[in-house]
Amino acid sequence: MIASLLPVLSPGTLLAAAVTSTAASLWLLLPRGLTGTAERMSRWLGSLLGLAALACFIATGHRLGSLGDEAVFLIVSLVAVISGAATVVSRSPVYAAIWFALALAGVAGVLLVLGAQFLGVATIVVYAGAILVMFLFVLMLAQPAGMAPYDRVSNEPLLSAVAGAVLLGILSLTIGRLTAEPPACCLMPATKAALLAGSATAADGEATDSDRGGVDLLAENHVARLGGELFGRHLLAVEVAGVLLLVALVGSIAIVSRGGSGGGLGDGDARATRRAVS
């Protein structure tokens, strides 16, 4: 949308600007042991640069079919990305956990828009409902009073921000290249067959024009078919996952109850049990 208003900005320039401002904003936002006015200025500048980076990413994004689709996708993905960034840069771990919950809501929205109904709901239930609450429990158990000094500094903030931004740039470049026509050797079998039959142009034009979101082949009877796939083709993997959950359960209880001299939660009970057994 913005790209059409500003024809000067090519996708390459926009991507470079996005990567640079992402690195700068993350560096400014990460805790670096500043105080007072310097801290506030750094946060404001970092937020502004982050918004600029988001605007660049939105400008390089692809248009969806209708304005409604576009608005919904934009809102949920902005919620996910902004809350994710806030998770990373929050000084207080409790705030980080709460921002992460909001990021999960955004991710669930993105999954719903992408047509993964079951996974969107499962993300909310499993992550926000169970895993995140566990995180908060541990935070309440293990939070020392006041703002800890190690929450106010970072390991190499500049280098890590640059590393993340470079990775992001490489990934975005690769994703941008996907729109280019692949060489004939790498075409999918169905497309190749269609090409051989000579009907490729007609089928291609139909598919891209009718629906900019692409044809969702998985939409019909979604959850039932997902369940069939999971418990049919991947039945063994489901069994292994169940065993993995059991092992993690037993293992975490064993670690807590036999956790060395530091005095874990159930330390006294475990010692009493061991004495009773021997």
Partner 1 sequence: MTPAPLVLNGLVVGAILFALGLVGILARRNLIVMFLCAELMLQGISVSLVSWSRHHGDWGGHVLVIFVLTVAACEAAVALVFVLQAFSRTGRLDSAAWQSLRESNLPRVVDHELPAVDTVPHAFPRLTPAGIEPPVDEDALLEREQV
Residues numbered 61 to 90 that lie near partner 1 (CB under 8 A) are 61-64, 69, 73, 77, 80-81, 84-85, 87-88, 90
For residue 126, what are its two tokens? Answer: 């499993």
Binding mask 87-126 for partner 1 (x = CB under 8 A): xx-x--x--xx--x--xx--x--xx-xxxx-xx--xx--x
CA angle 123, 126, 131 (to 5 degrees): 115
- 214 lies in the site for partner 1, by CB under 8 A: yes
Q: Minimum CB separation from partner 1 for residue 8, in Å? A: 22
**Cα–Cα distance, 227 to 232 (Å, whole number):** 8
Q: Minimum CB separation from partner 1 for residue 180, in Å? A: 8
**Cα–Cα distance, 87 to 97 (Å, whole number):** 7
Are the beta carbons of 28 and 42 closer than 8 angstroms? yes
Number of residues that bind partner 1 (CB under 8 A): 114
For residue 228, what are its two tokens? Answer: 């069939």
**Cα–Cα distance, 206 to 211 (Å, whole number):** 9
Binding mask 140-179 for partner 1 (x = CB under 8 A): -xxxx-xxxxxxxxxxxx-xxx-xxx-xx--xx--x--xx
**Cα–Cα distance, 51 to 53 (Å, whole number):** 5
Report the residue from 251, 268, 271, 274 that binds partner 1 according to the rule CB under 8 A: 251
Nearer Cβ to partner 1, position 7 or 262? 262
Nearer Cβ to partner 1, position 26 or 276? 26
